[in-house]
Amino acid sequence: MSEPSYIEILDGGAEVIRWPHKHRLPESEIVAFFESRRMSFDRWSSAAGGEFTVHSHSYRKILFCIEGDITFVLPDQNQEITLRPGDRLSLPSGIAHRADAGPEGVTCIEASA
């Protein structure tokens, strides 16, 4: 994969890697990323304005935005992160979060670690 333009380390250990290029990150590279780490993954979509209520996971969540955008809110850290195509979010287990799909909806690929 190409090198990201920057990495954001957030309170609570969440990490965002921004995709710096004008061209989209090929979905095949995202699949290769997960497969090379022997991680099972799912591709999912949400319609415009789709809302995911506050929850947490017992595993580390790794998510790539591939189309549209999605905003994650980490209420305990008082932080908000908007992902656009190619951006990657890694959330440690136990981090409370909610998310809202953007005005054009969103498609993501995610795995647990």
The domain that holds 66 is classified in CATH as 2.60.120.10
Integer CA distances (angstroms), 100 to 20, 35, 50, 61, in order: 23, 27, 6, 17
Calpha distance 23→69 (Å, rounded):
15
pLDDT of 10 reads 84
32 assigned to some structural domain: yes
Q: How many distinct structural domains can be found in the chain?
A: 1
56 assigned to some structural domain: yes
Q: What is the per-residue pLDDT across 3-58, written as a single tens digit (0 to 9) for each?
A: 545 888 888 899 999 998 889 999 999 999 999 999 999 999 999 999 999 999 99
Helix (H) or strand (E) holding 48: none
66 assigned to some structural domain: yes
Phi, psi of 104 (to 5 degrees): -110, 10
- Domain, as residue range, for 108: 6-112
1 assigned to some structural domain: no
Residues 6+ apart with CB under 8 A from 74: 10, 11, 12, 14, 80, 81, 95, 96, 97
pTM of the model: 0.90
Calpha distance 96→74 (Å, rounded):
6
pLDDT of 3 reads 52
Q: What is the per-residue pLDDT across 53-84, written as a single tens digit (0 to 9) for each?
A: 999 999 999 999 999 999 999 999 999 999 99
- The identity of residue 62, as a single letter, is I
